[in-house]
Amino acid sequence: MKKHIIINVGRQLGSGGRIIGNRIAQDFNIKFYDKELLDLAAQESGFDKRFFERNDEHKGFLKVLFSPFAPIFGSSNPYANQLSDESLFKFQSDAIRKAAEKDSCVFVGRCADYILRDFPNKVDIFITADMADRVKRVSETLDISEKEAEKKCIEGDENRAKYYNYYSAKTWGRAESYDLCINSSVLGIDSTIELVEDFISQKLHL
Amino acid sequence: MSNPSSPLDLGILPVNKLLGQYAVPAIIAMTASSLYNMVDSIFIGHGVGAMAISGLALTFPFMNLSAAFGAMVGVGASTLISVKLGQKDYKSAQHIFGNVITLTLLLGLLFSAVSLIFLDPILYFFGASAETLPYAREYMEVILLGNVITHGYLTLNSVLRSIGYPRLSMNATILAVIINTILNPLFIYGLDWGIRGSAIATVLAQTISLLWQMKVFNNPKELVHFKRGIYKLKGSIVRDTLGIGMSPFLMNSCACLIVILINRGLGHYGGDLAIGAYGIVNRVVFLFIMIVIGLNQGMQPIAGYNYGAQKYDRVLKVLKVTMLWGTLVTTLGFLVGELMPEWCARAFTTDKELIDISAKGMRIIVMFYPLIGMQMVTTNFFQSIGQAGKSIFLSLTRQLLFLVPLLLVLPQFMGVKGVWLAMPMADAISCIVTGTMLVIQYRKFKQLAVKTS
């Protein structure tokens, strides 16, 4: 019987994390979830997908400051309103947990490594890359100038870090939060994938 | 009780029934906390005197400020704990709980220390006179010494709610109200402790309630409980707690600022008794406001869920029903304030002049109350459907944007009457703004409701 495994891929924006995660899923022949998670979350909650898109890997300070759900008179259950950021995260994390229990999968981002922390056969990976490579990749995929791409990378990292640090009990991008952290610029995407797959096989005795 | 209905029920069960389920407990809690304050005023008014009522009214902004700090930690804490419990991450929840206790102690002690050192200048700034200052000081000294207890009690109440015991948290509030009601006459009449007796009763009531809460958290079987090694502050937890708590903190501070402006205006143009009169009027009308806030809390989950699930007809239904009830409540406040203000004032004092000023003031303040229900429900409605900006803007129109200029300008021409009049004027203008935004939003929903059905 095939072993039930979970691979979580954290990544800097533009580091090639999505490509790497996707290839790993293909090579191990397991499911792949990136943006697709938002569909799962929408299904889980019965809410429209746009609520999850608006909230996707964001938790900015201003948003916290003007949190519409912070009650003025002290009562404070963020789950009381199911459209609160916290509720939406709960729906999404329930969806992630369900998907993980059903099949072997690769999850990209969305605190999946934290949400599935008690899962037995799992590997948490974090992908970084040199800024030049990231800018190049982002500007090509989105067809924007390099300057804009660099801004996007920096903002994207900030958002992901805030989101991750708020909802998980770990720190985004810090080595101790993951099993393996790797800079995809050093070996290039293909060799990085090979190395990561080898690491996964060894850790999970595949 | 934390979840009277499962999420799915929110989209199916009759809106009326849901609103009852969610709003009634919230209304009870709100009424209880507003009675808490009323009891103090009533006993102080009858047992100590008219000047003492004014002295007490001077301390309102202080109480707001203290509540602001308390809420900052309490709200932040319970939100973070809820998030971690939602992930079944009990260890992290435990750590947050410990950090929150430390933060509460630190902030509580700091607030007491700073306030006690500068007590007299602060009270003068709040509008005290040589006659009213002693009362305000006597009362505040005790309250400030017990401030850590108050904060601890509020924080633990928040946490109780977040770990799934809303009923225990409500019981703790009611327990404090009952003890306070028993001790107040005992200390004021029985032991002749004056206004200080009332403050001691308040602190003692909260102490007993706090001890009872601590008993709950002392049980190691609870998801979060007192435990060694969780109290050392961690940067990220402190930052997140204070970050989330900032919004309720600012709102409460804003309330504090407004009361200072009102009291100063009343004191300047009308004298000490006018401040006392506002204290009485405030206690009475606040009861109605708090009931609407309870209704609003009940509406939140229903409106939020159905908006998310795109059931716009149900969103409109709950908005209409809540608005109807809200308007009924504030209209009742209007009738009470217009028809029997003397009767209300007499509950607090026997002083002829004070009754007279209070009655006049109350008639002015409740002038536009029949509209306020709509204003408050709409403001909260925008909040329920995630439109934070609109909600905060509308809430500020009534409490800050229009009120502050009116408070500063009107008295220049009309004297003390201008201070009283500023409040209903701000209400009226903000109702117009709110009504306009409501109509626009309502049309949008109508279109969407047609489209989706």
**3-class secondary structure per residue, B187-208:** HHHHCCCHHHHHHHHHHHHHHH
**What separation, in Å, do the N-terminal and C-terminal C-alpha atoms of chain A show?**
11
Q: Chain A interface residues facing chain B, Cβ-Cβ under 8 Å?
A: 45-48, 51, 61, 64-84, 86, 89-90, 93, 114-115, 117, 165-167, 169, 171
Using the beta-carbon criterion (under 8 Å), do B308 and A74 form an inter-chain contact?
Answer: no
> Which residues in chain B are contacts of A75 at CB distance < 8 A?
26, 29, 158, 161, 297
> Model confidence at A123, in pLDDT bands (50, 70, 90)?
very high
| SS3 at position A58 | coil
For chain A, which domains are there? 6-204 (3.40.50.300)
Q: Which of A64, A72, A165 sits opposite B244 (nearest CB)?
A: A64
d(CA A29, CA B357): 81
d(CA B199, CA B419): 29
What pLDDT score was predicted for residue B5? Answer: 43
Helices (H), A29-145: 36-45, 49-54, 61-65, 85-102, 112-115, 131-142
Give the pairing of strands A105-108 and A31-33. parallel
d(CA B160, CA B151): 14
For residue A195, pLDDT beyond 80: yes
User: Which of B55-69, B363-377, B378-392 tops mean pLDDT?
Assistant: B363-377
Distances (CA, A) of A5 to A37, A57, A106, A113, A135: 18, 24, 9, 13, 32
> Which residues in chain A are contacts of B165 at CB distance < 8 A?
none
Distance from CA of A25 to the nearest CA of B (A): 26
> Which residues in chain A are contacts of B33 at CB distance < 8 A?
73
> CB–CB of B400/B254 below 8 Å?
yes
Distance from CA of A53 to the nearest CA of B (A): 13
> Model confidence at A77, in pLDDT bands (50, 70, 90)?
low
Neighbours of B291 (CB within 10 A): 25
Residue in A with minimal Cα distance to B248: A72
pTM: 0.79
For residue B331, pLDDT beyond 90: yes
Residue in A with minimal Cα distance to B385: A83
d(CA B172, CA B157): 7
| SS3 at position B69 | helix
> Model confidence at A70, in pLDDT bands (50, 70, 90)?
very low
Using the beta-carbon criterion (under 8 Å), do B308 and A115 form an inter-chain contact?
Answer: no
Summary mean pLDDT of chain B: 85
Using the beta-carbon criterion (under 8 Å), do A77 and B70 form an inter-chain contact?
Answer: no
| CA-closest candidate to residue B107, choices B77, B148, B137, B136 | B148
Question: Could you tell me if the ipTM is greater than 0.85?
Answer: no
Using the beta-carbon criterion (under 8 Å), do B388 and A165 form an inter-chain contact?
Answer: no
Could you report the per-residue pLDDT of B8-54, keeping only the tens digit for each? 677 777 777 788 777 887 788 788 878 878 888 898 888 888 888 88
> Which residues in chain B are contacts of A117 at CB distance < 8 A?
89
d(CA A29, CA A26): 5
What are B166's two structure tokens? 């809303």
Q: How far is CA B403 from the centre of its chain?
A: 19
Could you report the per-residue pLDDT of B283-311, keeping only the tens digit for each? 899 889 889 888 888 888 788 888 877 88
| SS3 at position A11 | strand
> Which residues in chain A are contacts of B301 at CB distance < 8 A?
80-82
* Cβ partners under 8 Å of residue B66, min gap 6: B111, B143, B147, B150, B151
Distance from CA of A124 to the nearest CA of B (A): 18
For tokens 């709980």, name the residue.
Answer: B97
What pLDDT score was predicted for residue B7? Answer: 57
Neighbours of B92 (CB within 10 A): 19
What pLDDT score was predicted for residue B452? Answer: 66
A124 phi and psi angles, rounded to 5 deg: -105, 125
> Which residues in chain A are contacts of B170 at CB distance < 8 A?
none
d(CA B145, CA B196): 12
What is the count of residue pairs from A and B with beta carbons less than 8 Å apart? 137
What pLDDT score was predicted for residue B425? Answer: 92
| SS3 at position A73 | coil
Tell the burial category of B118 from Cβ atoms under 10 Å away from its Cβ (0-12, 13-18, 19+).
exposed
> Which residues in chain A are contacts of B252 at CB distance < 8 A?
72
Region of poorest pLDDT, from A83-87, B337-341, B352-356, B367-371:
A83-87
Q: Which of A68, A72, A89 sits opposite B252 (nearest CB)?
A: A72
| Residues β-bridged to residue A106 | A7, A32
Using the beta-carbon criterion (under 8 Å), do B83 and A165 form an inter-chain contact?
Answer: no
> Model confidence at B1, in pLDDT bands (50, 70, 90)?
very low
| CA-closest candidate to residue B158, choices B146, B148, B170 | B170
What are A155's two structure tokens? 């903002």
